Amino acid sequence: MHWPRRCVRALAAAAAALILCGVAAGCSAAVDPAAIADAQTAMRVKTALVNDPDLGGRAIEVQVTRGVARLSGVVQTASEAERAAELSRAVPGVNGVRSSLQIGVEAPAPADAPESNGAKVDDLPELQANPTLFALGGAIGWSGPRDGTLLSRVTVGPLFRLGSGSGLGLAVGFNWFKADLQSISAHPQVLSRISVKPVMAGFSYTLIRGRVALAPSVVGGIAFNSLTVTETGAAAGVPVEVDNSLVWRPAVSAWFDVSRRIALNVSAGYVMTGLRITVLENGRLVKHDARGDTTTVNAGVAYKLF
């Protein structure tokens, strides 16, 4: 097993202190036996934490005074903090645990720590110590409808982000897209343009690795739809109106925090909705159903407001 350098140094220093006390003349008279016992207990606690598969790489400092173990440093989750306290209580000689572990904030890296992708590791605490509640921006996207009468288009729409922490959270979706509606005939032609503007909310689960956050989500809501008739086309059979519709969308989104304020986003989803289109046929308005299911791919940038 490979121990972190800081742990090896701490154990070596404690062992050296015990050896010196054991061989120095009159050490037993000069040193409080309780202090020696506390040092031995601290070594056992540190060893238990280092040997744990989840806590071995965490920056946890241990001090023992009169059998009370004080834990300080950084862990990633509340469950890790509870695990550290449980391991400490199970060590012989520990009769109490006081934890001041911080959760979700990386400790600054040493000056000689390697760089990763051109950014120092100690740049990350600044981002993680200031979680974002709301970010607003814009995205450019491509939409590919499944219905053969709807054509793919590239569109621009809003981009939102709620929160920046890991785990389960709220999600919003604004996968706005446009599609050209063409006639079904031997010589298809564009008759109108449909704008689908969903407003959706739901849940997401975020996984964070450094500056990158991956968030699968499921959202649903209402699509506010509109239709624009082209200036050219057949006089009969022209769509003139489209109703609003229910919509839902599974998706996966990847965020990259460029700085404390700027984040890039790439996402892909599948918007599912049914379109009810009013068509002018032989002087009458007739309702037709169209499948509005659409694959969307978006890329954008958001500014963290607060």
Kindly report the CATH number assigned to the domain that includes residue 46.
Answer: 3.30.1340.30
Assigned domain for 117 exists: no
The per-residue pLDDT for range 63-99, each reduced to its tens digit, is 889 889 999 988 888 888 898 999 999 999 899 999 8
How far is residue 202's CA from residue 169's CA, in Å, rounded to a whole number?
9
Q: Map residue 267 onto helix, strand or coil.
A: strand
Q: Is 141 in contact with 179 (CB distance < 8 Å)? A: no
Q: Which residue has the tokens 């834990």?
A: 71
Note if the pTM is more than 0.85. no
Query: Does one domain contain both 148 and 292?
Result: yes
Q: Which residue has the tokens 């007739």?
A: 286
Closest by CA to 45, choosing from 108, 103, 89, is 89
Give the Cβ contact number of residue 191 at 10 Å: 21
Domain span at residue 296 reads: 128-304
Assigned domain for 115 exists: no
Query: Does one domain contain both 96 and 142?
Result: no
Assigned domain for 119 exists: no
Domain limit, last residue, from 104, 120, 140: 104
Query: Does one domain contain both 174 and 270?
Result: yes
Query: Does one domain contain both 86 and 143?
Result: no
Q: What is the pLDDT along the chain (306 residues), one digit of tens a residue?
A: 444 555 445 445 454 444 444 544 444 444 567 778 888 888 888 888 888 888 887 888 888 898 899 999 888 888 888 989 999 999 998 999 998 888 875 544 444 444 444 444 344 444 444 455 688 899 998 988 888 778 888 888 888 787 767 788 888 888 888 887 776 544 556 678 888 999 999 999 989 888 898 999 999 999 999 988 766 555 556 788 899 999 999 999 999 989 878 999 999 999 999 999 888 777 788 888 888 899 999 999 999 886
Query: Does one domain contain both 267 and 150?
Result: yes
Query: Does one domain contain both 220 and 257?
Result: yes
* Token output for 64: 């023992």
The per-residue pLDDT for range 252-286, each reduced to its tens digit, is 999 998 987 899 999 999 999 999 988 877 778 88
The pLDDT > 90 percentage for the chain reads: 23
Assigned domain for 233 exists: yes
DSSP H or E stretch at residue 43: helix 33-51
Give pLDDT, residue 237. Answer: 66
Q: Which residue has the tokens 């499948």?
A: 291
Assigned domain for 113 exists: no
Total tally of structural domains belonging to the chain: 2
> Can you spell out the DSSP letters for 240-260?
EEE--EEEEEEEEEEEEE-SS
Q: At 169, which CATH number? A: 2.40.160.20
Sign of CA dihedral 69, 70, 74, 78: positive
Residues in contact with 272: Cβ distance below 8 Å, sequence separation at least 6, in sequence order: 247, 248, 249, 292, 293
Q: Is 242 in contact with 285 (CB distance < 8 Å)? A: no
Residue 173's identity, in one-letter code, is G
Domain limit, last residue, from 104, 138, 167: 104
Query: Does one domain contain both 173 and 226?
Result: yes
b/e burial code for range 176-188 (CB count within 10 A of at least 16 → b): bbbbbbbbeeeee
Assigned domain for 90 exists: yes
* Token output for 57: 């790489």
Q: Which residue stretches of 90-190 are H helix? A: 124-128
Assigned domain for 15 exists: yes
Assigned domain for 71 exists: yes
* Token output for 134: 């709301």
Q: Map residue 22 onto helix, strand or coil.
A: helix
Query: Does one domain contain both 195 and 239?
Result: yes
Query: Does one domain contain both 265 and 214?
Result: yes
Residues in contact with 90: Cβ distance below 8 Å, sequence separation at least 6, in sequence order: 48
Query: Does one domain contain both 24 and 57?
Result: yes
